């Protein structure tokens, strides 16, 4: 389509006012702001498809519980950073019921949306072993996650899995992981926007490769239980939602409340760490822990310096190394200093 019912000059002016050089390459958020301005100026309404807003009413049981919680005064108190005991117990029960995996309540951490879970995971997982600094994206995935890595200065690798379904995935993962510098790999199933799901065989391949190369798998379950190949909806009864957790003990599962509970506005999610990862001893994390005292064999702390994408610049001056300890774990790294 070459003609739209709005003058090109108007679009160009509004794009320029929003500092957008090429609307065709604008990010979702830039585009949203620009369209808001176009609507305001012209009165022409747009059908917006840039975000998958669930739009279904949030379940009444949740809304009611939230009202009660607010009435009881929770708004004025900082929440327990580690998650309240009730939540952690229920989260562990939830994943047992729907994924058939066994984790202790300790391994279940509430987050402010999956976005925060992703941010915290990228930050931690690319630092817990000084030799492993990269993130491998098995696309298609959530573009914001790449942006998070850019902002954090984390080097990335990515491939579109479309060409590597089934057994081809094994060879591709070998190729991507063989250098031994990938800390974690991330995928989403079902994914946005292609909406296909990994088969159990493919999840098994991902798990095997994770075990072989010591890579943590981040399973982005933004569309939890929206895999409709089978009916996974009955708690505690097979079939269960397929998960990579069946094939590796190095995983983080991010379960968003946005879509499956229609709670997008509340920014709620949970992060389920495998017990092995949660309890892992990570001396290299001591580089970032001011409360550590014992020396570590890790090299001085320096954030990752190179990334394959040009913007924003990733190189930074190395930070001074804080004191170190040999007992810092992935889990204690998130706890407040006592």
CB within 8 Å of 101: residues ≥ 6 apart: 95, 243, 245, 246, 272
Residue nearest to ligand PLP (CB): 113
For residues 42 and 45, give the distance between their C-alpha atoms in angstroms, rounded to a whole number.
Answer: 9
Beta carbons of 203 and 245 less than 8 angstroms apart = no
* Interface with ligand PLP, residue 142, by CB under 6 A: yes
For residues 312 and 247, give the distance between their C-alpha atoms in angstroms, rounded to a whole number.
Answer: 36
- Of 10-18, 85-93, 107-115, 276-284, the segment contacting ligand PLP by CB under 6 A is 107-115
Binding mask 5-44 for ligand PLP (x = CB under 6 A): ----------------------------------------
Q: How far is the CB of 277 from ligand PLP (least distance, A)?
A: 20
* Interface with ligand PLP, residue 219, by CB under 6 A: no
Q: How far is the CB of 322 from ligand PLP (least distance, A)?
A: 30
For residues 245 and 219, give the distance between their C-alpha atoms in angstroms, rounded to a whole number.
Answer: 9
* Interface with ligand PLP, residue 303, by CB under 6 A: no
Which one of residues 188, 289, 292, 328 is an interface residue with ligand PLP (CB under 6 A)? 188
* Interface with ligand PLP, residue 220, by CB under 6 A: yes
Q: How far is the CB of 130 from ligand PLP (least distance, A)?
A: 28
* Interface with ligand PLP, residue 121, by CB under 6 A: no
Show contacts of 59-64: CB within 8 Å, 24+ apart.
Answer: 59/261, 59/262, 62/261, 62/263
Q: How far is the CB of 27 from ligand PLP (least distance, A)?
A: 14
Beta carbons of 156 and 304 less than 8 angstroms apart = no
* Interface with ligand PLP, residue 325, by CB under 6 A: no
Which one of residues 114, 121, 148, 325 is an interface residue with ligand PLP (CB under 6 A)? 114
Which one of residues 52, 59, 300, 312 is an interface residue with ligand PLP (CB under 6 A)? 52
For residues 136 and 141, give the distance between their C-alpha atoms in angstroms, rounded to a whole number.
Answer: 11
CB within 8 Å of 232: residues ≥ 6 apart: 98, 225, 239, 240, 241
Q: How far is the CB of 111 from ligand PLP (least distance, A)?
A: 8
What sign does the CA torsion over 182, 184, 190, 193 have?
Answer: negative
Smaller CB separation from ligand PLP, 106 or 266 = 266
Beta carbons of 185 and 218 less than 8 angstroms apart = yes
For residue 10, report the phi and psi dihedrals to the nearest 5 degrees: -65, -45
* Interface with ligand PLP, residue 253, by CB under 6 A: no
Cα distances (angstroms) measured from residue 305 to each of 37, 64, 132, 165, 246: 38, 48, 13, 32, 34
Which one of residues 14, 120, 215, 222 is an interface residue with ligand PLP (CB under 6 A)? 222
Q: How far is the CB of 83 from ligand PLP (least distance, A)?
A: 16
CB atoms within 10 A of CB 111: 22
Residue numbers at the binding site for ligand PLP (CB under 6 A): 52, 113-115, 141-142, 188, 192, 220, 222, 256, 258, 264, 269
């Amino acid at each position: 389509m070459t003609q739209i019912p709005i003058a090109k000059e108007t679009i160009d002016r509004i794009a320029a006012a929003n500092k957008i050089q090429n609307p065709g390459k604008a990010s979702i958020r830039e585009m949203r702001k620009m369209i808001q301005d176009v609507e305001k100026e012209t009165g022409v309404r747009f059908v917006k498809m840039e975000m998958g807003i669930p739009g279904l009413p949030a379940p009444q049981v949740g809304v009611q519980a939230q009202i009660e919680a607010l009435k009881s005064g929770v708004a004025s108190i900082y929440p327990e950073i580690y998650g309240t005991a009730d939540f952690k117990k229920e989260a562990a029960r939830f994943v047992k019921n729907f994924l058939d995996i066994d984790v202790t309540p300790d391994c279940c951490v509430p987050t402010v949306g999956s976005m925060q879970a992703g941010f915290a995971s990228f930050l931690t997982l690319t630092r817990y072993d000084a030799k492993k600094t990269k993130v491998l994206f098995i696309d298609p995935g959530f573009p914001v996650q790449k942006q998070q890595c850019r902002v954090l200065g984390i080097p990335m690798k990515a491939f579109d899995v479309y060409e590597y379904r089934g057994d081809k995935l094994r060879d591709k993962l070998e190729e991507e992981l063989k250098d031994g510098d990938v800390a974690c790999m991330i995928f989403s199933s079902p994914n946005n926007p292609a909406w296909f799901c990994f088969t159990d065989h493919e999840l098994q391949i991902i798990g095997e490769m994770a075990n072989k190369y010591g890579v943590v798998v981040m399973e982005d379950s933004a569309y939890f239980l929206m895999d409709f190949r089978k009916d996974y909806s009955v708690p505690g009864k097979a079939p269960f939602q397929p998960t990579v957790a069946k094939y590796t003990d190095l995983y983080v599962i991010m379960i968003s409340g946005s879509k499956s509970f229609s709670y997008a506005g509340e920014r709620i999610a949970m992060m389920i760490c495998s017990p092995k990862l949660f309890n892992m001893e990570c001396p290299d994390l001591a580089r970032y822990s001011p409360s550590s005292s014992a020396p570590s064999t890790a090299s001085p702390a320096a954030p990752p310096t190179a990334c394959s994408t040009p913007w924003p610049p990733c190189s930074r001056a190395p930070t001074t190394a804080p004191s170190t300890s040999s007992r810092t774990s992935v889990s204690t790294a998130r706890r407040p200093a006592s």
